[in-house]
């Protein structure tokens, strides 16, 4: 994995890629993607005069063009991946090298936190499953969706249809033809629906939302549903030690949080979702709607005082002490940090990024049609270019900002202790 | 009450559902739904209704059946919830057999009657609540139930698997590149201005609409994207089957898909009911007062493109056309003038059908009725003879209907009543008439 301590943290500015050069040699250049460390940029390019595509990178073009290329992304370890088509079949190319195995269709690459292994959704002769580093599951299914990869990488799971279904066979559907598959091994139980799978942090356990019949929902852990059922559930989440599972549940028309099948929070909310544990597992926060149309964050069942029309992107700081979420309404977004709003609002605002020590919060925002980085509520002026995805140095004193001005990809490292807001 | 015998159309979902009912189960479900979801609104409606019958004039079913009082909106309430309330929930399975057919297949929830009632009683709401009870009783028409199952399993209406969606887009992109060499259908472009969303039948049966949308976006220079994950389908038959839990799940996946892509707004294709679901019903069930990501209907988007000059019209459609106002976007959202302005910008002559605008008759496909499938095709078509008369009276050969459902419903009506007419989407006409700078 590419760790932020290995990035180049020397303050200053440098041009990483000159898009005009790419445009000179290619018919068209698609939106560039920039690696997490900001040192590499790449873009899918249409090969001049040919019916094929390549990827232009900071180190030159991929040597072999492909019939089609899409979803160009950097893996967490910095490798450049894309879905590519060769002879009508699909596979994943890593740094220009396609996997040996190819599939009738392949999509949705999945990465573990360190990026070591790469999962991929595949379809072979109308059957579905996942492949890890090119090797497909032994069992494939009539359908597989809601794919996930374990945080440490390597294990994959999906909701799978175990029995084929004919046209309008409502009885068969209601008898339960869905299950979950972990690395191609089907859970013993089947359900009407399976969604929202999650792995425990070590990848040893799996949980999912299940629908037991037309009206009852529950959470199944390793195939075994909780003893209680509910009028609705949303995605379960494991505690950091992998021992507990928390999920929003609907009781008598209202939502609350359950842990291991038992009600854990006392308040009835109009809505509750996107719960997160702190890294020590001691606290849980969630996005909640205390009453219709009003949204905020609740930490351990205590809602913040400020409510907005929409709250999203709830994030906990790496030290587990602070919480932030984007809040507001379309076109006027702000950040709520520990319940306090930033003193500014933005047309668009992306998820908060905490410094590793939890001291600072930054985010990408859009204002007056331009992308900027906002640090603690103040926009940092990086000139005319659009600023993308901020990254803090391990000690939180520096900020890496990648910029794109239509012609160039530029990398800035700022010393935050010295920076003055624009 | 009725001048003609009432025949129960056979349907596997309804018949088998009714066979499983007991009076106790009915009483229990009815009690639970009325207590938790019926509330003050239902009581106000029931207490206010003066049985005056003025709403009858509103309903296309009533007119199409020679003013048979059984099809008057108030009679639909009488045959469904009213009877249940009168008897305190003590109705028989046979009663439910009939009530479910009335609720699912003899009312399009088009809300025309609400405009005719002196008290503004919203019969569509009452019929919708009856459907909710039917869902909870396990008595739903087979085909709409199957559609709700598709929604639950795939987050789209047509059992489209995750790869089939992406594959259809790539196929349409490849097709379109024969016409426009550098055309793209951008997939998963994070931070684009617009996410374009469609309904399940588009990748499955009406891929030319995706093709045309891509050409229009390209010509207008729009910064857009489509998601490569579930959430791309904005449609919602669970809303109409009464399965609000699945409705909420669908709307959450649609809006969170747009949030994940970081777009400013969602532009949706030409669909009526999906607009109701994202703008009014599904979003609110989840707890949002409005849309968490603004959604605009294709009519609004086209209007914007044409009035801002992003799309130039090279030649107008020469034949006279008529414009069908889809109830969900006309009565439901007030887009009737805007729809006409787009139609006028594209066509030499727009002949009005009467009645029109917010008074337009529904196509009789809406409210999930067309999704109840083949068993109820005649219910729909016979229930909308007035639409055929209304269309024929215009004397034109082309009907514009900016709604998928309306297309389905009107096609059947045109066919059944042997009208010499063809149907078009506004997108068809824009594609046909716009200036294509690359030519
Ligand atoms: S079809 Fe329309 S007019 Fe007729 S009862 Fe239903 S909502 Fe009212
Ligand atoms: S018009 Fe209104 S008050 Fe009169 S019968 Fe119809 S619903 Fe009742
Ligand atoms: S199908 Fe069309 S006319 Fe009919 S309810 Fe939907 S929008 Fe209304």
B39, B126: one domain: yes
* Residue that terminates a domain, selected from B305, B337, B369: B305
Which A residues in the span 257-286 are in contact with B, Cβ-Cβ below 8 Å? 270-271, 273
B366, B295: one domain: no
Tally of helices (H runs) and strands (E runs) in chain B: 23, 8
The answer as to whether B154 is a domain residue is yes
Closest Cα of chain B to A418: distance in Å?
30
Closest Cα of chain B to A210: distance in Å?
11
Give the Cβ contact number of residue B122 at 10 Å.
Answer: 17
Which residue carries 């993607």 as its tokens? A33
CA distances from B359 to A7, A220, B326, B367, B386 (A): 65, 50, 10, 17, 13
Nearest CA to ligand 2 atom 1: B117
B294, B324: one domain: no
The answer as to whether B1 is a domain residue is no
pLDDT at position B1, please? Answer: 42
B135, B257: one domain: no
Contact A347 B170 (CB under 8 A): no
pLDDT at position A419, please? Answer: 66
Which ligand 2 atom lies nearest to the CA of residue B53? 5
pLDDT at position A69, please? Answer: 98
B301, B351: one domain: no
B125 lines ligand 2 (CB under 6 A): no
Q: Both tokens of residue A184? A: 């191609």
Contact B153 A231 (CB under 8 A): no
**Which tens digits make up the pLDDT trace of A342-364?**
999 999 999 999 999 999 999 99
B61, B136: one domain: yes
Check if A190 contacts B (Cβ < 8 Å). Answer: no
Contact B287 A289 (CB under 8 A): yes
Q: Within 6 Å (CB) of ligand 3, which residues are found?
A: B 108, 110, 272-273, 326-328, 362-363, 365-367, 403, 405-406, 409
**pLDDT higher than threshold 70 for residue A422:** no
**pLDDT higher than threshold 90 for residue A2:** no
pLDDT at position B186, please? Answer: 98
* Residue that terminates a domain, selected from B258, B277, B305: B305
**End-to-end C-alpha distance for chain A, whole angstroms:** 34
Residue A68 has its nearest CB partner, among B146, B170, B189, at B170
**pLDDT higher than threshold 90 for residue A402:** yes
pLDDT at position B4, please? Answer: 60
**Which tens digits make up the pLDDT trace of A124-174?**
999 999 999 999 999 999 999 999 999 998 899 999 999 999 999 999 999
**pLDDT higher than threshold 60 for residue A421:** no
Nearest Cα residue in chain B from A292:
B287
B299, B197: one domain: yes
| Edge-to-edge strand list for the sheet holding A245-251 | A237-238, A245-251, A254-259, A262-263
The answer as to whether B2 is a domain residue is no
Which A residues in the span 279-338 are in contact with B, Cβ-Cβ below 8 Å? 289, 292-293, 295, 309-310, 312-313, 329-331
pLDDT at position B6, please? Answer: 80
Starting from the CA of residue B116, give the closest ligand. Answer: 2
* Residue that terminates a domain, selected from B117, B140, B163: B140
B261, B408: one domain: no
The answer as to whether B6 is a domain residue is no
Which A residues in the span 96-125 are in contact with B, Cβ-Cβ below 8 Å? 105, 107-108, 121, 123
Dihedral angle at the C-alpha atoms of A227, A233, A239, A242, nearest 10 degrees? 50
Low-confidence ranges of chain B (pLDDT < 50): 1-2
Ligand 3 centroid from CA B271, angstroms: 8
B287, B392: one domain: no
CATH of the domain at B418: 3.40.50
B197, B331: one domain: no
B317, B396: one domain: yes
Structurally, how many domains does chain B consist of? 3
Q: Which domain holds residue B294?
A: 147-305
CA distances from A369 to A346, B259, B366 (A): 10, 18, 40
pLDDT at position B2, please? Answer: 45
CA distances from A362 to A243, A390, B221, B339 (A): 32, 7, 32, 43
The answer as to whether B106 is a domain residue is yes
């Amino acid at each position: 994995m590419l760790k932020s301590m290995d990035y180049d943290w020397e303050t200053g500015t440098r041009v990483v890629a000159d898009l005009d050069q790419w445009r000179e040699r290619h018919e068209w250049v698609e939106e560039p993607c920039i690696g997490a460390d900001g040192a590499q940029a790449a873009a899918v390019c249409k090969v001049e005069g040919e019916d094929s595509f390549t990827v232009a990178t900071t180190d030159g073009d991929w040597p072999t063009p492909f019939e089609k290329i899409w979803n160009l992304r950097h893996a967490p370890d910095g490798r450049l991946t894309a879905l590519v088509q060769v002879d009508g079949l699909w596979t994943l190319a890593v740094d220009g090298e396609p996997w040996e195995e190819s599939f009738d269709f392949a999509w949705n690459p999945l990465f573990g936190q360190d990026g070591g292994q790469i999962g991929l959704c595949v379809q072979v002769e109308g059957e579905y499953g996942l492949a890890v580093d090119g090797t497909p599951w032994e069992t494939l299914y009539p359908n597989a969706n809601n794919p996930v990869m374990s945080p440490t990488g390597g294990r994959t799971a999906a909701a799978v249809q175990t029995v084929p279904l004919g046209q309008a066979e409502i009885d068969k559907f209601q008898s339960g033809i869905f299950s979950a598959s972990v690395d191609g091994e089907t859970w013993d139980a089947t359900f009407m629906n399976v969604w929202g799978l999650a792995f425990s942090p070590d990848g040893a356990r799996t949980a999912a939302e299940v629908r037991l019949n037309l009206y009852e929902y529950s959470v199944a852990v390793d195939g075994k549903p909780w003893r209680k059922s509910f009028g609705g559930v949303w995605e379960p989440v494991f505690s950091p030690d992998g021992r507990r599972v928390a999920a929003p549940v609907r009781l008598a028309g209202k939502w609350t949080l359950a842990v291991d099948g038992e009600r854990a929070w006392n308040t009835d909310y109009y809505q509750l979702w996107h719960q997160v544990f702190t890294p020590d597992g001691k606290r849980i926060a969630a996005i909640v709607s205390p009453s219709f149309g009003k949204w905020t964050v609740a930490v351990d069942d205590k809602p913040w005082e400020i409510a907005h029309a929409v709250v999203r992107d709830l994030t906990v700081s790496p030290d587990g002490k602070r919480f932030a979420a984007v809040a507001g309404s379309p076109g006027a977004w702000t950040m709520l940090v520990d319940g306090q709003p930033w003193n500014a609002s933005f047309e668009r605002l992306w998820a908060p990024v905490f410094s590793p020590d939890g001291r600072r919060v930054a985010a990408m925002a859009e204002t007056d049609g331009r992308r900027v980085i906002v640090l603690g509520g103040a926009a940092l002026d990086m000139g005319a270019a659009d600023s993308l995805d901020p990254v803090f140095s391990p000690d939180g004193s520096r900020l890496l900002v990648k910029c794109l001005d239509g012609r160039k990809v530029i990398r800035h490292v700022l010393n935050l202790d010295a920076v003055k807001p624009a | 009450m009725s001048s003609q015998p009432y025949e129960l159309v056979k349907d596997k979902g309804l018949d088998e559902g009714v066979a499983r009912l007991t009076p106790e189960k009915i009483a229990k479900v009815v009690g639970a739904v009325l207590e938790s979801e019926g509330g003050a609104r239902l009581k106000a409606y029931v207490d206010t209704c003066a049985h005056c019958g003025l709403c009858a004039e509103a309903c296309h079913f009533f007119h199409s059946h020679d003013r048979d009082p059984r099809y008057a909106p108030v009679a639909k309430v009488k045959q469904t919830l009213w009877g249940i309330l009168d008897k305190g929930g003590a109705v028989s399975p046979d009663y439910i057999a009939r009530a479910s057919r009335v609720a699912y297949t003899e009312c399009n929830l088009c809300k025309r009657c609400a405009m005719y009632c002196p008290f503004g009683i919203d019969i569509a709401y009452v019929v919708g609540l009856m459907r909710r009870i039917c869902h909870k009783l396990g008595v739903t028409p087979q085909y709409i139930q199957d559609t709700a199952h598709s929604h639950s399993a795939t987050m789209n209406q047509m059992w489209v698997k995750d790869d089939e969606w992406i594959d259809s887009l790539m196929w349409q992109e490849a097709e379109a590149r024969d016409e426009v060499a550098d055309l793209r259908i951008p997939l998963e472009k994070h931070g684009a201005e617009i996410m374009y969303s469609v309904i399940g039948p588009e990748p499955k049966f009406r891929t030319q609409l995706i093709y045309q949308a891509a050409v229009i976006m390209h010509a207008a220079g729009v910064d857009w994207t489509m998601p490569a994950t579930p959430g791309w389908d904005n449609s919602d038959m669970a809303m109409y089957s009464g399965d609000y839990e699945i409705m909420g799940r669908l709307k959450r996946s649609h809006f969170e898909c747009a949030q994940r892509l970081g777009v400013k707004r969602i532009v949706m294709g030409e669909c009526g009911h999906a607009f109701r679901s994202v703008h009014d019903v599904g979003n609110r069930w989840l707890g949002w007062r409005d849309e968490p990501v603004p959604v605009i209907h294709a009519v609004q988007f086209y209007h914007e493109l044409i009035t801002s000059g992003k799309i130039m019209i090279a030649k107008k459609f020469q034949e006279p056309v008529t414009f069908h106002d889809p109830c969900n976007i006309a009565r439901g959202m007030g887009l009737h003038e805007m729809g006409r302005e787009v139609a006028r910008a594209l066509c030499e002559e727009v002949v009005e059908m009467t009645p029109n605008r917010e008074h337009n008759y529904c196509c009789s496909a809406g409210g999930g009725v067309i999704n109840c499938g083949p068993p109820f095709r005649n219910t729909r078509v016979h229930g909308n003879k007035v639409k055929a008369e209304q269309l024929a009276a215009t004397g034109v050969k082309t009907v514009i209907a900016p709604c998928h459902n309306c297309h389905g419903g009107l096609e059947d009506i045109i066919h059944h009543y042997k009208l010499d007419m063809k149907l078009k989407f506004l997108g068809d006409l824009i594609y046909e008439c716009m200036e294509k700078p690359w030519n």
